């Protein structure tokens, strides 16, 4: 075995890098990256060489062969090669503005290449009559003339560039060229540092490439690469990275399972026999049978002497919060603190309001902690937590920060965990000695997958909805029905109801036909204000601002809210009855189901209008129909799974290993199964790995996945 990237090749050597080059070194150790560029990368969350290597392209452009000018169609992006016929600077109309024009021809036609913003010196140097020029960009028709505006250009005599060009997610202040170059430097300079944590015997059997090869080929696709597969994220290189992400999570989960059986809970609770009755007596409604059962299951866990690890699954609106409240009540009766972590600021605040409104007799003393607090507020909050002046702490991920200390944390509740971040889960749990943990999710996943992903959790399910739940009617609308849609929207707002309009992206992208939130907001504001107030919310707004907007919407001060999917998770506005979703074909079914769960949660029935784009595939249309005809999250998630079997754009995330998303799981079940098998073999020291040095292997796994493998508990 002399594959240098195989961990087993090195097992007997000392760690090879001490104070030397490491993948965890700061980016600025790379050629061509000074402090300024390093800062720009950092702002995007890319700090180390490893981060950069795992910053994968979003998509690719096929620049392998030029298309003859005579065959170009306006609207398409293309590589064109031709000879320069002439050009230069001209005035635009009668104005002072100038345009730089270069004309190329290739025997089948001519193409005008235009720049409105440019450096003259550079373009004058490009403009060399008779020389070959390759240009890449979107083709436009201007009358009978074909044009390309601000394309990428390269002087070359070859019609072929021979490569698939990677397009990276944007990094503010850095061009694609700079990003690509930096990645290339990292690939060249650090090849020997990329040690594959998975032994070759496994990757070979699974027909997956070695790690370095996978990383490299994602950044620099081979010229023979299948463009379609690369674009859809379905190459074996994508699979390898996905596989690693699964291994990381599965290892952590399995390891926790092994460990849990050997830990003891600090103080098993003693609970009054009439706990449920007492709790119920303080509620304005009757608990449903499913809620009651879940609460009983939780109480049984709490009375045991090993810590609770329970997942509470239940569709949107089925009433999970009140079950969590019952669990918290049990902990508070036993004089322990409870921490509730929510994924967004908005949701955390909502919970805070809910728990603050519980009758005093239940004994809740809530506190709200978010990253948005000012320093002195934060210090005070921390002080209160440490001294036990509060017993119920609600917050965002700010709760897992270093400085956060509890006086006596007994129960950890994590809401809406549709990202399976095992690590975050355990970070909060580490704030206490073996606390009880309750995880809540509205994203039902099939049983087989739950068994793998939640191997360390017991599961309670709430299937039925509270009585009086009216649900949401879902209708599919065509693009041409705009008028009708907005007449309906107006009608509902006139009756004092609120509306949400969901867009898939925040602001204009290269895909010009895509309606974005910012533009939609401007348009609807112009249409409705001052008659109705229109608001905008998206993920890139500062947390405080998001909060304000959401609060206003909640209070009914905003009638129409334009939003991206930030509202997807758990947010609750009682007056919202109508949701318009633009480009629903861009969302997963389960996600759409989550989204529509945001409306119709008050007295009135909800209405969800899916505005599909003309010309979407029959398959996509079928998917939407499932949603229109079914309101059961479990059924929808199963259907989603079936559809996705046909391969949907996966889009690698730029995150390294750590957290995985439901869609990744649904799209790659076979890889997840394989990862589980491999992880189990590694943990069990399987005979197939005999002769392998486990200590070294674990060290590599630990380094790559951040899973603490050394202290493996015996089963």
Does 570 sit near Mg ion (CB under 5 A)?
Answer: yes
- Cβ neighbors of 519 (< 8 A, separation 6 or more) are 507, 508
Q: Which residue has the tokens 């909050």?
A: 381
Identity of the residue, 50 or 320, whose beta carbon is nearer to ligand ADP in the bound complex: 320
What span, in angstroms and rounded, lies between the C-alpha atoms of 633 and 493?
28
Residue 466's binding partner, choosing from Mg ion, ligand ADP, none, with beta-carbon cut-off 5 to 8 A by kind? ligand ADP
What span, in angstroms and rounded, lies between the C-alpha atoms of 353 and 368?
9
Q: Which of residues 326-385 bind ligand ADP (CB under 6 A)?
A: none
Least Cβ distance, residue 263 to Mg ion (angstroms) = 29
Identity of the residue, 151 or 570, whose beta carbon is nearer to ligand ADP in the bound complex: 570
Contact track, ligand ADP, 517-556, x by CB under 6 A: ----------------------------------------
How is residue 702 written in tokens?
A: 């630990």
DSSP letters spanning 107-134: SS-EEEEEESS--HHHHHHH--TT-EEE
Report the DSSP pairing between strands 59-65 and 152-155: unpaired
Identity of the residue, 147 or 321, whose beta carbon is nearer to ligand ADP in the bound complex: 321
Least Cβ distance, residue 442 to ligand ADP (angstroms) = 6
Identity of the residue, 319 or 656, whose beta carbon is nearer to ligand ADP in the bound complex: 319
Number of residues that this document lists for the chain: 715
Identity of the residue, 504 or 570, whose beta carbon is nearer to Mg ion in the bound complex: 570
Contact track, ligand ADP, 601-620, x by CB under 6 A: x-------------------
Q: What's the N-to-C CA distance of the chain in angstroms?
A: 31
Piece of the chain touching ligand ADP by CB under 6 A; list 160-168, 317-325, 380-388, 701-709: 317-325
Piece of the chain touching Mg ion by CB under 5 A; list 322-330, 395-403, 516-524, 564-572: 564-572
What span, in angstroms and rounded, lies between the C-alpha atoms of 178 and 478?
42
Does 314 sit near ligand ADP (CB under 6 A)?
Answer: yes
**Are the beta carbons of 280 and 274 closer than 8 angstroms?**
no
Does 577 sit near ligand ADP (CB under 6 A)?
Answer: no
Residue 287's binding partner, choosing from ligand ADP, Mg ion, none, with beta-carbon cut-off 5 to 8 A by kind? ligand ADP
What span, in angstroms and rounded, lies between the C-alpha atoms of 500 and 502?
6
- Cβ neighbors of 435 (< 8 A, separation 6 or more) are 307, 409, 410, 411, 412, 429
Q: Which of residues 464-483 bind ligand ADP (CB under 6 A)?
A: 466
How is residue 518 written in tokens?
A: 């910012």
Does 319 sit near ligand ADP (CB under 6 A)?
Answer: yes
Residue 322's binding partner, choosing from Mg ion, ligand ADP, none, with beta-carbon cut-off 5 to 8 A by kind? ligand ADP
What span, in angstroms and rounded, lies between the C-alpha atoms of 494 and 362?
40
Does 318 sit near ligand ADP (CB under 6 A)?
Answer: yes
Q: What is the largest CA-CA distance in the chain?
A: 92
Identity of the residue, 428 or 679, whose beta carbon is nearer to Mg ion in the bound complex: 428
Residue 76 CA to its chain's centroid (Å): 29
- Cβ neighbors of 547 (< 8 A, separation 6 or more) are 345, 346, 349, 372
Identity of the residue, 441 or 654, whose beta carbon is nearer to ligand ADP in the bound complex: 441
**Are the beta carbons of 574 and 556 closer than 8 angstroms?**
no
Does 142 sit near ligand ADP (CB under 6 A)?
Answer: no
Identity of the residue, 111 or 502, whose beta carbon is nearer to ligand ADP in the bound complex: 502
The contact set with ligand ADP (CB under 6 A) reads 285-288, 291, 314, 316-322, 442, 466, 570, 572, 601
């Amino acid at each position: 075995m002399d594959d240098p990237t195989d961990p087993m090749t090195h097992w007997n050597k000392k760690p090879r890098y001490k104070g030397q080059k490491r993948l965890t070194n700061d980016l600025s150790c790379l050629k061509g990256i000074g402090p300024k560029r390093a800062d720009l990368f950092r702002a995007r969350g890319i700090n180390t060489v490893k981060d950069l290597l795992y910053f994968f392209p979003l998509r690719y452009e096929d620049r392998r062969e030029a298309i003859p000018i005579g065959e170009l169609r306006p609207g398409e992006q293309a590589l064109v090669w031709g000879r320069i016929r002439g050009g230069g600077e001209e005035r635009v109309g009668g104005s002072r503005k100038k345009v730089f024009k270069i004309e190329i021809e290739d025997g089948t036609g001519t193409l005008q290449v235009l720049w409105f913003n440019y450096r003259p010196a550079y373009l004058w140097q490009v403009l060399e009559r008779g020389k070959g020029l390759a240009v890449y960009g979107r083709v436009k028709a201007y009358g009978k003339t074909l044009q390309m505006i601000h394309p990428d250009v390269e002087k070359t005599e070859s019609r072929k560039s021979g490569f698939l060009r990677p397009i990276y997610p944007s990094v503010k202040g850095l061009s694609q060229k700079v990003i690509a170059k930096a990645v290339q430097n990292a690939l060249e300079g650090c090849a020997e540092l990329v040690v594959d944590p998975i032994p070759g015997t496994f990757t070979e059997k699974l027909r997956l490439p070695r790690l370095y090869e996978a990383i490299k080929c994602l950044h620099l696709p081979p010229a023979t690469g299948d463009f379609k597969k690369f674009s859809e994220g379905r190459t074996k290189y994508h699979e390898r990275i996905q596989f690693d992400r699964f291994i990381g999570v599965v290892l952590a989960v399995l390891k926790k399972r092994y460990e849990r059986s050997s830990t003891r809970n600090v103080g098993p609770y003693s609970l009054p026999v009439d706990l449920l009755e007492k709790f119920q007596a303080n509620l304005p409604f009757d608990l449903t049978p499913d809620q009651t059962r879940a609460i009983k299951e939780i109480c049984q866990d709490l009375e045991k002497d090993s810590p609770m690890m329970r997942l509470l699954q239940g569709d949107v609106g089925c009433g999970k919060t009140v079950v969590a409240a019952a669990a918290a009540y049990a902990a508070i009766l036993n004089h322990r603190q409870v921490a509730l972590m929510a994924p967004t600021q908005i949701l955390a605040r909502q919970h805070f309001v809910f728990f603050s409104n519980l009758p005093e007799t239940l004994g809740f003393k809530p506190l709200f902690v978010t990253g948005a607090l000012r320093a002195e507020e934060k210090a005070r909050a921390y002080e209160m937590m440490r001294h036990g002046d509060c017993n119920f702490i609600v917050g965002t991920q700010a709760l897992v920060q270093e400085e956060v200390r509890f006086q006596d944390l007994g129960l950890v509740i994590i809401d809406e965990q549709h990202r399976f971040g095992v690590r975050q889960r355990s970070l909060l749990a580490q704030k206490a000695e073996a606390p009880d943990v309750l995880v809540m999710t509205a994203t039902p996943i099939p049983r087989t997958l739950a068994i793998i992903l939640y191997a360390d959790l017991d599961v309670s399910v709430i299937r039925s909805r509270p009585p009086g739940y009216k649900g949401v009617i879902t209708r599919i609308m065509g693009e041409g029905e705009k008028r009708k849609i907005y007449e309906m929207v107006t009608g509902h707002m006139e009756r004092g109801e609120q509306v949400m309009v969901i867009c898939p992206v925040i602001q204009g992208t290269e895909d010009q036909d895509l309606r974005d939130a910012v533009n939609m907001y401007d348009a609807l504001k112009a249409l409705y204000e001052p008659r109705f107030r229109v608001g905008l919310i998206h993920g890139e707004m500062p947390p405080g601002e998001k909060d304000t907007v959401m609060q206003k919407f909640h209070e009914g001060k905003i009638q129409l809210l334009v939003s991206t999917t930030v509202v997807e998770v758990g947010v609750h506005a009682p007056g919202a009855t109508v949701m318009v979703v633009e480009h629903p074909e861009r969302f997963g079914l389960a996600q759409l189901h989550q989204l529509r769960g945001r409306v119709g949660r008050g007295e009135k029935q909800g209405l969800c209008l899916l505005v599909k784009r003309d010309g979407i595939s029959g398959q996509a249309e079928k998917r939407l129909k499932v949603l229109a005809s079914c309101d059961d999250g479990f059924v929808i998630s199963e259907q989603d799974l079936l559809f996705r079997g046909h391969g949907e754009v996966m889009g690698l995330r730029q995150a390294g290993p750590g957290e995985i998303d439901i869609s990744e799981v649904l799209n790659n079940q076979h890889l997840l199964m394989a990862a589980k098998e491999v992880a189990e073999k590694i943990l069990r020291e399987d005979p197939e790995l005999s002769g392998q040095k486990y200590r070294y292997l674990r060290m590599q796994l630990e380094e790559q996945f951040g899973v603490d493998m050394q202290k493996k508990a015996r089963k």
